[in-house]
Amino acid sequence: MFCCFQREMTSPLQSQNPRIHDNCRAWVFGLLAGAIGWLGSFSTDAADRKTLLVLGDSIAAGYGLEPQQAFPALLQEKIDAAGWNVEVINGGVSGDTTAGGLRRINWMLKRPIDILVIELGGNDGLRGLSPDMTRTNLQAIIDRVREKNSRTSIVIAGMRMPDNMGSVYTKEFANVFPALAKANEVFLIPFLLESVGGVAGLNQADQIHPNAEGHRIVAGNVWKIIEPLLAKTPPVDHLKRTTAQETPAGKP
């Protein structure tokens, strides 16, 4: 666009008529001033926008579904309908564990985050990993987020395992999430899959991943916790946002 503009203005600007020259120059400066003002307004809007990151596994990623059917996209719809200037980032990776989330979190934090929803742990449990390991990894994620920005609101999504994992294991695993929430004074979604887990009609053929209707219920479970946070969480400092935007994207 700018190159075409230059070609169109070459002849008038080089004209020997001073009046034409002055008028064209004034027009160019006026156009540039307007463009700069528009960009300034855009930057202000971007700086005021809050960011909600869902750090998750295949549930957040919408395994087996279209991206717009997954609960993070449904949260964005609810946020837009409420008129809030918030962007939801879907950081869901199928098959991810708490260890995988811990490896990814530094890269995800290159962009300032106002609210973090940690939806991890389900694959730890299905693989029979030690609940202590799950707890350690989740704690490390919380610590890194707080080191980056202590004002980030953190939400932990609780998970449970099926009874066939054994009563001792399922109890220890389920206790990880409320215990972490209490110890760190963060917010808790008691059970992400409330009213969905174990309900055949709300899950896909594997009876593990929610179907489209199941995701709508999951989005409602998350919404109950994050709605009041969205209303009161202050935006991350403008200076920190600017610094983060200047950082090249991509994994280190």
Residues 169-218 have pLDDT tens digits of: 999 999 999 999 999 999 999 999 999 999 999 999 999 999 999 999 99
User: How many independent structural domains does the chain possess?
Assistant: 2
* Of 21-35, 77-91, 196-210, minimum mean pLDDT range: 21-35
- Of 58, 124, 153, 215, which one is the catalytic site residue? 58
Q: What is residue 47's predicted lDDT score, i.e. its pLDDT? A: 63
Q: What is residue 29's predicted lDDT score, i.e. its pLDDT? A: 44
Same domain, 12 and 77: no
Q: Is the pLDDT of residue 41 over 50?
A: no
Average pLDDT of the segment spanning 37-64: 76
Confirm if 90 and 54 have CB atoms less than 8 A apart.
yes
Q: What is residue 48's predicted lDDT score, i.e. its pLDDT? A: 81
- Of 114, 153, 209, 215, which one is the catalytic site residue? 209
Our answer to whether residue 132 is catalytic in this structure is no
**pLDDT: which is higher, 211 or 8:** 211
Our answer to whether residue 21 is catalytic in this structure is no
Of the candidates 119, 81, 134, 85, the one whose C-alpha atom is nearest the C-alpha of residue 234 is 85
The tens digit of pLDDT for each residue in 214-243 reads 999 999 999 999 999 998 755 554 334 433
The tens digit of pLDDT for each residue in 113-137 reads 999 999 999 999 999 999 999 999 9
Q: Is residue 220 part of a domain?
A: yes
Same domain, 55 and 40: no
| CA–CA separation, 162 and 86 (whole Å) | 35
Same domain, 131 and 212: yes
Same domain, 89 and 8: no
Percentage, residues of the chain above pLDDT 70: 73
Our answer to whether residue 58 is catalytic in this structure is yes
Model confidence band, residue 32 (pLDDT cutoffs 50, 70, 90): very low
| CA–CA separation, 46 and 32 (whole Å) | 21
Same domain, 63 and 176: yes
Q: Is residue 251 part of a domain?
A: no
Domain range for residue 16? 2-44
